[in-house]
């Protein structure tokens, strides 16, 4: 198939790209490099299916028009977005423009050209989990940050194209994802930051009490889920979760990574009002519709991530 992958130079996009190439597709990446990097996809440049990397933004309607007119895309995997909760609080306009308006632009072109859309939403749209069954797709949502609010708005537009136009669309909500190629600086994910600090002999800082929990999904499991959602007609018009099905407090995660408790400190939370206290995924719908379940344990995923961070100069 001919596939447009937005955000393909980013962390998860890079792994989605790999899986799509492994599966034999032709892939065009559109990424403005606001948070992605060409190094993430450099190793794919010589592979037959890698058709082009286009540096550009989903806010550029002219560029989208030319792209959709000149290529007969079958699927658009739409991952391009502003992803940082704190950035969205400091500057909501940028996140709203990229995540909501940008998604609307993508939807319009996919509608005109009858292209299936896989929309990458996030677990951050949910209210906190209150039981051990985990969060199903019926769980209440709560726009606790402009990032979550922008994604919820975009989700609704994506599903409206299914109902109003019969366009095949699916909303997917992966839980917090980690693994090789995630940034290890302040912009990165908690696993990457903790491992980088451990390897550099630095202490680990936890925002708030550290009792908040996360369901951590290894990036190759995440990418397989994303890609499968594009292949299956069963998920059209649906919202589907994916996570490990195990949550861990940030305190326990820090101990698992650094072992020495003297190297763990608690500091004042920068956005306590937008914190979600417990996130635990129930992925039974993904299992039922896509026959998807995660295969990489948290311990194995951390091991692979640490090995990668130790071997690279990327930050």
Ligand X SMILES: NC(=O)c1ccc[n+]([C@@H]2O[C@H](COP(=O)([O-])OP(=O)(O)OC[C@H]3O[C@@H](n4cnc5c(N)ncnc54)[C@H](O)[C@@H]3O)[C@@H](O)[C@H]2O)c1
Residues making contact with ligand X (CB under 6 A):
6-7, 9-13, 30-36, 57-59, 79-83, 98, 102, 120, 122, 174, 176-177, 189
- In whole angstroms, the minimum distance from the beta carbon of 177 to ligand X comes to 4
Report in angstroms how near the CB of residue 50 gets to ligand X at its nearest.
16
Nearer to ligand X, 30 or 254 (CB): 30
Can you tell me which residue has the tokens 């994910």? 189
- Say if residues 125 and 177 touch (Cβ distance below 8 Å): no
Find the radius of gyration of the CA atoms of the chain.
Answer: 19
| Catalytic one of 147, 161, 181, 218 | 147
For 153, phi then psi, to 5°, come to -60, -45
Q: Which tokens hold the place of 109? A: 């072109």
Q: How far is the CB of 260 from ligand X (least distance, A)?
A: 26
Tokens 């995924």 sit at which residue?
A: 281
- Is 231 considered catalytic here? no
Tell me the three state secondary structure of residue 106. Answer: helix
Smallest distance from the beta carbon of 57 to ligand X, in angstroms?
4
Cα–Cα distance, 116 to 128 (Å, whole number):
31
Nearer Cβ to ligand X, position 77 or 161? 77
Q: How far is the CB of 125 from ligand X (least distance, A)?
A: 10
CA 17 to chain centre: 13
User: Which CB sits closer to ligand X, 30 or 76?
Assistant: 30
Nearer to ligand X by C-beta: 13 or 230? 13
Q: How many angstroms separate the CA atoms of 201 and 231, rounded?
A: 44
Measured over the CA atoms of residue 11, residue 64, residue 28 and residue 54, the dihedral's sign is negative
Q: In this complex, which beta carbon is closest to ligand X, that of residue 74 or of residue 187?
A: 187
Measured torsion, CA atoms of residues 102, 103, 105, 108, in degrees rounded to the nearest 10: 180
Catalytic residues: 147
């Amino acid at each position: 198939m001919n596939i447009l992958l937005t955000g393909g130079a980013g962390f998860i996009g890079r792994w989605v790209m790999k899986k799509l190439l492994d599966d034999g597709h032709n892939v065009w990446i559109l990424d403005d490099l606001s948070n992605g990097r060409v190094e993430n996809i450099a190793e794919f440049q010589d592979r037959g299916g890698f058709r082009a990397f286009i540096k550009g933004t989903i806010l550029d309607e002219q560029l989208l028009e030319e792209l959709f007119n000149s290529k007969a895309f079958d699927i658009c995997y739409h991952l391009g977005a502003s992803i940082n909760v704190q950035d969205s609080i400091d500057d909501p306009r940028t996140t709203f423009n990229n995540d909501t308006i940008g998604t609307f632009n993508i939807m319009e072109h996919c509608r005109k050209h009858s292209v299936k859309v896989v929309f990458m939403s996030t677990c951050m749209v949910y209210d906190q989990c209150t039981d051990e069954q985990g969060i199903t797709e019926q769980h209440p949502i709560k726009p606790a940050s402009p990032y979550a609010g922008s994604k919820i708005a975009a989700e609704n537009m994506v599903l409206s194209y299914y109902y109003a136009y019969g366009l095949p669309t699916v909303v997917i909500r992966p839980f917090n994802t980690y693994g090789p190629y995630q940034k290890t600086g302040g912009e990165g994910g908690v696993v990457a930051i903790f491992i980088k600090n451990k390897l550099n002999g630095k202490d680990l800082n936890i925002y708030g009490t550290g009792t908040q929990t996360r369901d951590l999904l290894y990036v190759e499991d995440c990418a397989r889920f994303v890609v499968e959602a594009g292949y299956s007609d069963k998920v059209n018009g649906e919202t589907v979760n994916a996570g490990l099905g195990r949550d861990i407090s940030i305190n326990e995660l820090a101990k698992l990574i650094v072992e020495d408790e003297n190297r763990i400190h608690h500091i004042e939370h920068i956005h306590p009002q937008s914190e979600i206290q417990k996130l635990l995924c129930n992925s039974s719908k993904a299992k039922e519709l896509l026959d998807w379940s995660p295969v990489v344990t948290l311990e194995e995923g951390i091991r692979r991530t640490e090995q990668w961070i130790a071997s690279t100069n990327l930050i």
